[in-house]
Structure 1
Amino acid sequence: MGEDDVRVWLVERTYSDDEQNLIILVYATPDGERYLRKERALTSFSDDRPTEAAIDADPGNLGTVEDLDEREWYAEEAARMQAEHDPDDHV
């Protein structure tokens, strides 16, 4: 973790409607104000890449959550993940 990195927690995992085999992961800060979106393409049925409960991200890669309802939901999900998992847990 770089000294300026920010810990973000997994708050959403969805499968893309537009492309097959694409998983979209959204991680957010505990206050729900900033987020990181990651896209992961599954290359085969045996593709086994773990998803961690939390990751450390460069602040420059984080977007701002403008929608207040979404911000609140992200904060609730981040708090739930923090309470139920260690950052390096695979979820």
Structure 2
Amino acid sequence: MAETDGDTVRVWLVERTYSDDEQNLIILTYATPDGKRYVKKERALTSFTGSARETTAAVDVEPDNLGHVEDQDQQAQYAAEVDRLMDRHEPDDPI
């Protein structure tokens, strides 16, 4: 796992999707470099306008907030996307 310190794990943005339930909600999925753990964050679409919170290439989260990716194909997909982002972006880069 990609621990950043004793308390957090660095995860990288692997997916952005629109919520099926609400029109103005975007779901950001961040995963560990091996693709085996993930966390989802929800953002209102309106928060993407103006100087609201930026979506960064990576975030640091507490290990207890991470879920497990059970599907091996999805693990591979997430790991490949993390590799792509790590090659092109610093963790704090807005994307």
TM-score calculated relative to the size of structure 1: 0.90
- Aligned-pair CA distance for 1:18: 1.9
Measured after TM superposition, the shift of residue 17 of structure 1 is 2.4
Out of 77, 81, 86, the residue aligned to residue 85 of structure 2 is 81
Q: Among residues 24, 33, 54, which one is paired with 2:58 in the alignment? A: 54
Q: How does 1:14-29 map to 2 (within 5 A)?
A: 14-29=17-32
**1:31-90 Cα deviation digits (max 9, x unpaired):** 000000111123478354310000001000000000000000000001101001000000
Structure 1: runs of 5 or more not aligned:
none
2:35 touches 2:76 (CA, 8 Å); kept in 1? yes
Closer/same/farther in 2, CA of residues 60 and 45 from structure 1, 3 Å limit: closer
Deviation at 1:2, TM superposition (A): 5.5
Q: 1:7 aligned to 2:13?
A: no
Rounded to whole Å, the distance in 2 between the matches of 1:55 and 1:89 is: 10
Gaps of 5+ in 2: none
Q: TM-score, normalised by structure 2?
A: 0.87
Cα deviation, residue 15, structure 1: 1.1
Q: Count the aligned residue pairs.
A: 91
Distance 2:61 2:79 in 1: 17
Cα distance in 1 for partners of 2:19, 2:75 equals 21
Percent identical residues:
64
Q: RMSD over aligned Cα, in angstroms?
A: 1.7
